[in-house]
Structure 1
Amino acid sequence: MPKSPNFRFFQGGLIKHRTTPKFFTTQYDYMVLIALSGFVGATVGLVIAMFEELINWVGDFRIHLVESASLSPFLSIIAGASIGALITALGFWLTARFAPEASGSGIPHLEGALDGLHDIRWRRVLPIKFFAGALTISSGMVLGREGPSIQIGGSVGRMFAGRAKRYQHATHILTAAGAAAGLAAAFNAPLAGVLFVIEEMRPQFRYSITSFKCVTLSSAAATIVMRSIHGQSAVMDIPNFSIPALNSLWLFALLGIIFGIVGVNFNRWVLSTTAKVQQLQKNRISRIVMTGAAFGAVFATLQSLVPDITGGGVELITELFRNPIVWGVCLLLFVLRLFTTIASFGSAAPGGVFSPMLALGTLLGLAYGSLMASYFPDLVPEPGIFAIAGMGALFAATVRAPVTGIILVVEMTDNYQLILPLLVTCLGATFIAQALKGKSLYSELLKQSLRNNPEIKRQINESHEDSKTS
């Protein structure tokens, strides 16, 4: 049987793989892995669709339960806080008891698995992330579904890889393909899913033409499944803006500088909050559950009183474009959501931070655009353009993946004509973040988890022992 093409790794993978001459021994192996990638993507698309439905159902059920009781306003707040505390505590307990690696967004854990630091125990990660993530995200905490979607996707890829052990590098490739499919399904953004794996996970992802094909096919398959269920419209129903004048690009560059500074400090605050919460919890399940109950009660109360500073933020973004508000109110909401986002994500709840970051970028970008419109009306005909640029800029500064941020935003908003101003803003934010010695949020979270999490340390030791015995 003829041999497959000679696929080689670029620099960046594990040392033992850098000299690997071939991925597969036969063309049959190559075709099987390509086909498996398509099955991974389709499965991930279906699972993420169910995950989204579960989040919406739990959230609606929680609110309906309080409203149907016909209580007084004060008792309604108490009842809502109690139910929020209960479901959030349950999500924290499930995570701490059965799958500690499913805490947080799950992306650092997935990156560690791609780098060979540990394995993905998909039999426990997949169900726990699915149900615990739905509980905490629907509680009113400022969390998004994209981080869990990526970890769920990677776990599905690892599940399929368990059936394809005879194919060399199947585990690595299918895990990465599942991660790309998870992001693509969460945001209806197939290109962003591919770019996220290549750009953000570049230290761990072993790039080759074959692995690229697998990731791309998986992302496309997940998007097809999601669109067949939810339709082909963009995630955010916002206006299509006209292309800004070239002489206004310096305003986007200035916005990028601002977001570069904000992004570096955002990462520092998240890491600091995460470390402090871990110190308080001391890996005790009782303290972890109490943390979840406290956060659930607080955010359920805030959701009934000040809904704009709770939740993932996608609805808020859409509302801001439909009914713009003055820049001062945007700035106030930005500050308030900044605190609630850092608190929610720093609690290590099983939820993501992509959507909350996009909401923060929208608020600060819209405030900036409205303010600049008062000084430069000829250059800023539509302040909403800066809100879209702000989405990508904060993502670029925190995750350090500017191209992914650009493509993610244009796919989510259907504003492909704004690629140039987004490019200027995102690159500016990335350059400033690099100049300030900022690090990628998920890379730093991975390092922090390896230092502080005994469960992950135990996984690494077991993985090393297994490799020695084999």
Structure 2
Amino acid sequence: MEFHSEGPSKPSGAGSIVSRLLSAEKGSSKVLLWALFVGCLTGFAGALFQIALAQLATLKNMLMNYLEATPGLPLIGSIALSGIMVYLAFLLVRNIAPETGGSGVQEIEGALDEVRPLRWKRVIPVKFFGGLLSLGSGMVLGREGPTIQIGGNIGKMISDIFRVHKDDTHALVAAGAGAGLSAAFNAPLAGILFVFEEMRPEFKYNFLSVQAVIIASASADIMLRIMVGQSLAIPMHMLSAPPLPSLFLFLIFGCVFGLFGFIFNRLLVRTLNFFSALTGWPFTLTGLIVGGLIGALVWLFPDTVGGGYAVIPKALGGSIPVMIMLLVFVARFGTTMISYGSGAIGGIFAPMLALGTLFGMWFGHFAHFLLPDLVVQPEVFAVAGMAALFCATVRAPLTGIALTIEMTGNYLMILPLILTCITSTIVAQGLGGQPIYTVLLKRTLDLAKKIGK
């Protein structure tokens, strides 16, 4: 009897399963390694962005100190400098990458849903340098918008360079976005939860993509800590856990912020539509005028402008009188609307944190006056306010809770934060409001259809 060889037999049964598992494991290892690259690069970019902003602020202060020798000149210089900076940022947006205007979070969500492109060669440099100009001018915007969009585009960049599979590209873009939030606020857990919660309609959940997001967010935070340091994003003293009988006040507080978040979203979109309707003059002229206005406020009323990293410690430390705190809150609400509504590069997280802190401190002092035995530390409502407005507008309570705790280090505030955040979220939803980034993405897609892009 003759036996004819037909080549090596293919593995079957258990051997075939092992072979597939080993192949999948090899592919998974590559994706996780790429996620590590994405996280490190995003953390590096985020740290560099913070360092550059600090240096820019130092240079501006030196210039203002020099101009102070001549009466009236600092005000003129501040108006001119901020106006020119925002004008240049608008120029970059209009001529190179229009999708970089605003926070950019909705662009990442649109890319994950495959309805928006990721032109990383244009977006990364424009978002970085345009963001420096916008935020450095004193606009009421946050650095998390630039870092999230830069992070998502870094994920796309790595995917293109290494020719990554489409599904893995999706995971790396999401991982980059989470890393961007982590790098903005030194908050890796919030970065992870932001992707899982805020981007849940677009994010493709599987074990590999979840691992990629975790690795990228953690590595971005490590890189940030190496370059910038390990201090909290919002340094403050540690608060005691509020008395249990006082918890009902946080439910009331959450209801107030639920209403405020609903109003905030409505007015923000209306402001965007108002500026979009200004077709009678060039887009860049809007930047010049808005920048000039912000520049005037930078010199005359500095607490009403800026991302919020300066005014938050002042409010927490008692440097702003309680009677004036509401006025600063109202003024910053207006400057937030103008800054973001104009289409400038920058996020809205940091401005919302500042608004929540200001109103929360005022509410805390008012509650302390009425119920001194229940409200021993008014600051507890400032911390709760940071998370409450975020949750009411973004509709991501887990992210808001984690972000606030990581930024302030006040872990004993977990129960009041849960009560405040879930209440503000439910009230905002009950009023018929939509999550802000869902609204912004829909608006972006509608505008793209109108102009045929």
TM-score surpassing 0.5? Answer: yes
Q: Letter of the aligned partner of 1:398 in structure 2?
A: T
Are 2:412 and 1:397 aligned?
no
Post-superposition offset of 1:67? 2.6
Aligned to 2:276: 278
Q: Runs of 5+ in structure 2 lacking a partner?
A: 1-15
Q: Is the 8 A contact 1:4 1:30 kept in 2?
A: no
Question: How many residue pairs are counted as aligned between the two chains?
Answer: 437
Please tell me whether the aligned partners of residues 326 and 367 of structure 1 are also in contact (alpha carbons under 8 angstroms): no
Determine the C-alpha separation between the residues in 2 that align with 1:204 and 1:448: 17
Distance 1:45 1:3, change over 3 A: farther
Task: Check the 8 A contact 2:51/2:228 in 1, yes or no.
Answer: no
Q: Tell me which stretches of 4 or more aligned residues in structure 1 moved more than 4 Å.
A: 454-457
Q: Following TM superposition, by how much is the alpha carbon of 1:457 offset from its aligned partner in structure 2, in angstroms? A: 4.8
CA distance in 2 between partners of 1:4 and 1:309 (Å): 59
Structure 1 residues 19-418: aligned runs within 5 Å: 26-281=24-279, 287-323=282-318, 325-418=320-413
SS at 1:73 equivalent: coil
Letter in 2 for 1:80: S
SS at match of 2:438: helix
CA-CA distance at 1:163 after TM superposition: 2.6
Do the aligned partners of 2:314 and 2:320 also contact (CA within 8 Å) in 1?
no
Equivalent residues of 2:258, 2:426 under 8 A apart: yes
- The question of whether the paired residues in 2 share the 8 Å contact of 1:449 and 1:456 is answered with no
What is the CA–CA distance in structure 2 between the aligned matches of 1:80 and 1:63, rounded to whole Å? 10
Report the RMSD for the aligned CA atoms in angstroms: 1.7
Cα distance in 2, alignment partners of residues 368 and 191 from structure 1: 29
Aligned residue number for residue 453 of structure 1: 448
Equivalent position SS for 1:76: helix
In the TM superposition, residue 322 of structure 1 has moved relative to its aligned partner by 1.8
Shift, 1:64, TM fit: 2.1
Change (3 A) 1:401 1:166: closer
Between the aligned partners of 1:69 and 1:378, the Cα distance in structure 2 is 50
Q: Give the drift of 1:298.
A: 0.8
Q: Secondary structure at the match of 1:314?
A: coil
Deviation at 1:280, TM superposition (A): 0.6
Deviations along 1:93-147, one digit per CA (max 9) or x if unpaired, are 0111000000000111111001010220000000000000110111011011001
Identical aligned pairs, as a percentage? Answer: 43
Aligned partner letter, 1:309: T
Q: What is the SS of the residue equivalent to 1:453? A: helix
Q: Note the alpha carbon deviations across 1:268-327, whole angstroms, 9 max, x for none.
A: 000000011011147xxx621101111111111101110000000012111222225443
Measured after TM superposition, the shift of residue 68 of structure 1 is 2.1
Change (3 A) 1:248 1:456: farther
**Cα deviation, residue 53, structure 1:** 1.7
Contact 1:84 1:297 in 2 (8 A): yes
Give yes or no for contact 1:327–1:370 (8 Å, CA) kept in 2: yes
Letter of the 1:311 counterpart:
G
Is residue 123–residue 153 contact of structure 2 (8 Å, CA) maintained in 1? yes
Deviations 1:134-162 (A, max 9, x none): 10111011011001110010011110011
SS at match of 1:68: helix
Larger Rg: 1 or 2? 2
Q: Is the 8 A contact 2:78 2:298 kept in 1?
A: no
Change in Cα spacing, 1:350 to 1:4, as seen in structure 2 (3 Å) is farther
Q: Answer whether contact 2:112 2:173 (CA < 8 A) is retained.
A: yes
CA distance in 1, matches of 2:125, 2:407: 28
1:106 maps to a residue whose letter is G
CA distance in 1, matches of 2:153, 2:279: 27
In 1: Cα distance, 2:175 partner to 2:162 partner: 14
Deviates more, 1:101-110 or 1:448-457: 448-457
Deviates more, 1:172-181 or 1:51-60: 51-60
Q: Distance in 1 between matches of 2:322 and 2:66?
A: 37
* In structure 1, distance between residues paired with 2:360 and 2:338: 22
Give distance in 2, aligned partners of 1:40 and 1:359: 30
| Contact 1:257–1:432 under 8 Å retained in 2 | yes
The structure-2 alpha-carbon separation of the partners of 1:82 and 1:324, relative to structure 1 and needing over 3 Å to count, comes to: closer
Task: Evaluate the alpha carbon distance shift between residue 55 and residue 190 of structure 1 in structure 2; reply closer, same or farther with a 3 A threshold.
Answer: same
Q: The residue matched to 1:240 in structure 2 has which SS?
A: coil
Q: Is the 8 A contact 2:74 2:299 kept in 1?
A: no
Amino acid in structure 2 at the alignment position of 1:377: P
Q: What TM-score comes out, normalization by structure 1 length?
A: 0.90
- For each residue in 1:384-437, what CA deviation from the matched residue of structure 2 results, as whole angstroms up to 9, or x when unmatched? 000000000000000000110000000000001110000000000001001101
Cα gap change, 1:125 to 1:410, in 2 (>3 Å): same
How far is 1:92 from its partner? 0.5
Partner of 1:465: none
Q: Is the 8 A contact 1:41 1:219 kept in 2?
A: yes
